[in-house]
């Protein structure tokens, strides 16, 4: 009997992880779009227009999931998801945690994990090496 290939096992595990991670943001995006009244109170007053931000972040979550599933622009999507999670942590969750709201602590921990996972995704699992659809010139002669 042939010895199993560790490479295929790792690849299968990565595929399952990518799907699970993407599904998290399908569900999160759908919740933002179908129940904005639950997320809108969490939007800091300094941003204004809470429903706009809830809808925008819902679409962003769905866009990440679509990118992760298709493998197109998924490195860029991973970096964008990382940035969004950092904004959530700094502007919403830490202020709530400092104010004594234990859900702020839990949300900080959750989104800190999502941010780290987004970085791992962008760095190790992304299929599309491009950050954008164009490639930058390598020298002035290519401009």
Give the residue-averaged pLDDT of 17-29: 95
Q: What is the pLDDT at residue 132?
A: 60
pLDDT more than 90, % of the chain: 73
Q: What is the pLDDT at residue 103?
A: 95
Contacts 24+ apart (CB under 8 A), 129-135: 129/75, 130/73, 130/75, 130/76, 131/73, 131/75, 131/76, 131/79, 132/73, 132/76, 133/73
* 2 secondary structure, DSSP code: P
Say yes or no to pLDDT of 118 above 70: yes
Q: What is the pLDDT at residue 141?
A: 56
């Amino acid at each position: 009997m042939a010895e199993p290939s560790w490479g295929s096992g790792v690849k299968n595990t990565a595929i399952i992880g990518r799907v699970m991670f993407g599904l998290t943001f399908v569900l999160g995006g759908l919740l933002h779009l179908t129940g904005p009244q639950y997320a809108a109170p969490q939007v800091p007053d300094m941003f204004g227009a809470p429903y706009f931000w809830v809808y925008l972040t819902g679409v962003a979550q769905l866009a990440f999931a679509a990118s992760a599933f298709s493998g197109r622009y998924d490195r860029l999507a991973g970096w964008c998801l990382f940035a969004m999670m950092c904004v959530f942590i700094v502007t919403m969750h830490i202020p709530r945690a400092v104010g004594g709201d234990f859900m702020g602590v839990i949300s900080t921990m959750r989104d800190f994990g999502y941010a780290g996972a987004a970085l791992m995704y962008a760095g190790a699992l992304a299929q599309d090496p491009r950050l954008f659809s164009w490639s930058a010139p390598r020298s002035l002669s290519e401009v």
